[in-house]
């Protein structure tokens, strides 16, 4: 079980950090840079997020495999936050990441 924020670190850099949003009501054709333009999947956010970026994930069950395309750094990790309060995404509740054919893991506890 993962609790709170999950950070992925390695080697690339971003001059400016960006916040991305994932919601069950989102679209992978959106920009992902606001709750109103949120991505639908965590994997889409993981495809675009880079060093120093933060991904806020709204409530829901996400049945997918997440494979980041970019690396963070020790000083600028890519951070995924389960937004259980809805303060960032507008969607309060449990965030579950479930790989197809398995039971889910709740991500995060209330902030």
Report the largest interatomic distance among the alpha carbons of the chain, rounded to a whole angstrom: 39
Write down the pLDDT at residue 6.
45
Task: Please list the rounded mean pLDDT of every run of 10 residues in the chain (111 residues).
Answer: 39 69 98 98 97 98 93 95 98 91 56 42
Local structure of residue 12 (DSSP, 8 states): -
pTM here? 0.79
Q: In what order do the strands lie in the sheet with 95-98?
A: 60-63, 95-98, 105-107
């Amino acid at each position: 079980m993962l609790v709170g924020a999950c950070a992925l670190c390695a080697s690339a850099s971003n001059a400016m950090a960006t916040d991305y949003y994932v919601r069950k009501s989102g679209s992978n054709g959106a920009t992902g840079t606001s709750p109103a333009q949120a991505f639908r999947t965590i994997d889409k956010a993981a495809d675009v997020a880079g060093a120093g970026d933060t991904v806020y994930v709204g409530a829901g069950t996400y049945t997918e495999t997440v494979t980041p395309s970019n690396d963070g750094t020790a000083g600028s990790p890519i951070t995924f936050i389960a937004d259980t309060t809805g303060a960032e995404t507008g969607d309060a509740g449990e965030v579950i990441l479930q790989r197809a054919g398995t039971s889910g893991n709740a991500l995060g506890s209330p902030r």
